[in-house]
Amino acid sequence: MRNPPVSFCRLLILPWLFAVCLLAGDLLAADVVSPEDVLKLKLSVNATISPDGQWVAYNVRVPRAADDKAGADYRELYVVSTKDGSSRPFVTGKVTIRTPRFSPDGSQIGFLAKRGEDEKTQVWTIPLNGGESRRLTKSKTNVLAFRWHPDGKHIAYVATSQPSKRETKLKDKGYGFVFYEENLKHRNLYLTSVAGEGVSEPKQVTNDITVWTLEFAPSGRTIAVSASEKNLIDYRYAFQNIYVLDVDSGDLRQLTEGRRKMGNFAFSPDGSRLAYVAARDQRDHAVSQAYVIDVSGGKALNLTPDAFRGHINWVGWRSRDTVVYRAAEGVWNTLNVVTSEGGKHKQILSAKDSATIFGAPTYTKNFKYFAMVGSSPSIPSDVYLWTPGKSPKRLTELNPWVAERDLGRQEVIRYPARDGLEIEGLLVYPVGHRSGQRFPLIVVVHGGPESHYSNGWQTYYSRPAQVFAGKGYFVFYPNYRSSTGYGVDFTKDHMGNPAGKEFDDVADGIDYLVEQGLVDGDRVGLGGGSYGGYAAAWFSSYYTKYIRAVCMFVGISNLVSKRGTTDIPYEELYVHSGKKLEEMWQLSLERSPIYYAHQSQTAVLIFGGTADTRVHPAQSLEYYRRLKMNGHPAVRLVQYPGEGHGNAKQPGRIDVLHRTMQWYDWYVLEKKPLDGPMPPLDISDHYGLKLEED
């Protein structure tokens, strides 16, 4: 923290109080985004267009009420007309509907759902023209993914092998021991008929391999699957390859080579080639390149432009000889086409021009109609229709109340890092911002670090930008070195250099905002989740002079023990550390926040789930212990029972949102002393519960 000399403190108090009073008056007159607003946000999470382009099926994520049974958001199914924008509810209420997919003739919508407390997730279908839904599968374990066969009379789906009768009996008698990473069950591929009214017996078509995703060839005679040797998340990240399955014979042939991160894939219209997205090589930490390969085999052709300053993250086909791909390019994204033999790339849609950040699209075979989920700084998440040559058309308005709120202006900023490299990020201004006045700042560091911020909606339970803006904060979202969207070369300094140039970039961004006269350098908070939580711990220890308060969510504090407790050790080795721990003991220790915990002068809020397998809860406990054993007066650890790497259930989300705001307001906005009382522990009055008094 940058405390001014004591002799100046008295001179600063009155002007500061005057400025705060002026700001408070402005905000009282404004109708700003509240925490309660954030907790009622409805979000569209996918959009699937019908074969004729007349309809779009989409899911709406609906938050549970505070007094509802604890659980994740509900997911409802709707259909909207692309002609007049009229929307129809199909399956709504306290339901969880996932991955809607139109049948090949467009008459049915298939989806995944679990109905009944003891039931498994199955594939269901509902007629587009109305009627009751019916079940298509009777899997004994949860269905994880499915695709329609091109004939519309069959489906393929993925489900995990069920325990044997012997295993079930042993478990019932108390002998269901866990043999860590050994007693695994494969994710198998099944085929089943969906013709007629009954539910047919499925045919298992893969064995001794774990299938993650699948796509039918246009003929229906072959299926491309991405698969790995073991059913472990680490193998999904680090050891996937694409295989081609012959439906009749069951022969499975490996198509791609190498170990790298893998994205989506799609058959060409004639079925002769496959386009896919993947990392450049094993050391590339994210999907970044577009490839084409003959289904018969051979070497894949990389279609990605040389030194491309972006990351390609989705691919499809416009025609037999033309590939379409989506790319992240800085804080924007684009759609582009290129011939399947390589050559000149042509941009056909730019988020910068349309002012809409869009997700991976679905589209009609004639390439005339696209459906996508989009957002902007003032639109949280809605369904859009796009016709090439025109601007995207918004089909839904899930949160009309947002238009009634005063929002902080969001803009793209660029600033020089200490070594001269230009860094990009987003800056949200306080509501009621006045030039020439300094405001407090909250820095929100993304996780991954293979991720980045796009210039869309940025207000969610763990990073409520517009709530901060409504309370008078600037909010800074840096795309620091190692972020995606800026090309593979931009990430190279990250390899084997944790908390190095990447977090220096964040510090340089804070310096820049202070130097521009926007931010009060003595009132800065910083937070983030996962790798962003690592940044929070780093800025509360190594870079403590910058920050008054941090919120460390599911974050890393000890790189040594983290490598031995995470569920992605190979991913961490291949794309982050680059060396085995034995070759970098000292560096790992010196890049761990626990190494500098003794010098912390920052208020530290630590929180996370008790069932986190990605960043073990011990990471939070280790940092808490080091701070407490060094006499730190302002540290708090909050744990959420049963939650994993991020809170899926509404109670934990409510608490994170309100506790984050409380922590920053206490130590950053109000500048309460670190050696004074901490904020109240019980904040249940903010939960919206109907509780009886003791």
Q: What is the pLDDT of residues 459-469, one digit of tens each?
A: 999 999 999 99
| DSSP secondary structure code for residue 576 in this structure | I
CA 463 from centroid of its chain's CA atoms = 12
Percent of the chain with pLDDT over 70: 95
What are the φ and ψ backbone dihedral angles of 476, each rounded to 5 degrees?
-115, 125
Query: Which amino acid type is present at position 432?
Result: G
Whole-number pLDDT of residue 2: 45
pLDDT tens-place string over residues 632-688: 999 999 999 999 999 999 999 999 999 999 999 999 999 999 999 999 999 999 998
What integer pLDDT is reported at residue 6 of this predicted model?
33
pLDDT value at position 494? 84
How large a percentage of the chain has pLDDT more than 90?
A: 90
Residue 7 has pLDDT above 80, yes or no: no
- The average pLDDT across 261-284 equals 96
Q: What is the pLDDT of residues 497-528, one digit of tens each?
A: 999 999 999 999 999 999 999 999 999 999 99
Q: How far apart are CA 525 and CA 539, in angstroms?
A: 9
How confident is the model over 43-68, as pLDDT tens digits? 999 999 999 999 999 999 999 999 99
| Averaged pLDDT, 155-162 | 97
- Residue ranges covered by each domain of the chain: 6-30+406-686, 40-135+371-402, 144-254, 268-354
pLDDT in tens, 103-123: 999 999 999 999 987 789 999
The secondary structure of residue 482, as a DSSP letter, is T
- What was the pLDDT predicted at 694? 63
Report the pLDDT value the prediction gives residue 15, as an integer from 0 to 100: 40
Q: Token match 């791909």: residue?
A: 325
Q: What is the pLDDT of residues 135-153, one digit of tens each?
A: 999 999 999 999 999 999 9
Going by C-alpha positions, the residue among 410, 446, 441 that lies closest to residue 428 is 410
3-state secondary structure of 639: strand
Rounded average pLDDT over 351-380: 96
Residue 529: per-residue pLDDT:
97
Report the pLDDT value the prediction gives residue 117, as an integer from 0 to 100. Answer: 74
519: CB partners within 8 A, 6+ apart: 438, 439, 440, 441, 474, 510, 513
Query: Among 364, 448, 464, which Cα is nearest to 408's?
Result: 464
List helix spans (H) across 321-375. 351-354
Closest CA to 238 of 257, 204, 222, 261: 261
pLDDT confidence of 690, banded at 50, 70, 90? Answer: confident
pTM: 0.94
Taking the C-alpha atoms of residue 596 and residue 599, their distance in angstroms, rounded to an integer, is 6
- The pLDDT assigned to 13 comes to 36
Sheet strands (E) in 297-421: 301-302, 311-319, 322-329, 332-339, 346-350, 357-358, 362-363, 370-376, 379-386, 393-394, 410-416
Residue 1 has pLDDT above 60, yes or no: no
* Distance separating alpha carbons of residues 22 and 29, to the nearest angstrom: 11
Class in CATH terms, 6-30+406-686: alpha beta
* pLDDT classification of 5: cutoffs 50, 70, 90: very low
Given a cut of 70, is residue 11 above it in pLDDT?
A: no
pLDDT tens-digit readout, 175-232: 999 999 999 999 999 999 999 888 899 999 999 999 999 999 999 999 999 999 999 9
Q: What is the pLDDT of residue 16?
A: 42
Whether the per-residue pLDDT at 19 is higher than 80: the answer is no
Which strand (E) or helix (H) includes residue 618?
Answer: helix 618-629
Helix (H) or strand (E) holding 126: strand 122-127
Question: Could you give the strand order of the β-sheet that contains 301-302, starting from the edge strand earlier in sequence?
Answer: 262-267, 273-278, 289-294, 301-302
Closest CA to 212 of 184, 236, 232: 236
pLDDT value of position 116: 81
Among 295, 315, 293, 205, CA closest to 251: 205
- Taking only the tens place, the pLDDT of each residue in 291-311 is 999 999 999 999 999 889 999
Is the Cβ–Cβ distance between 38 and 459 less than 8 Å? yes
Structure-token match 């904020």, residue found: 679
- pLDDT bracket for residue 493 (50, 70, 90): confident
Average pLDDT of the residues of the chain? 94
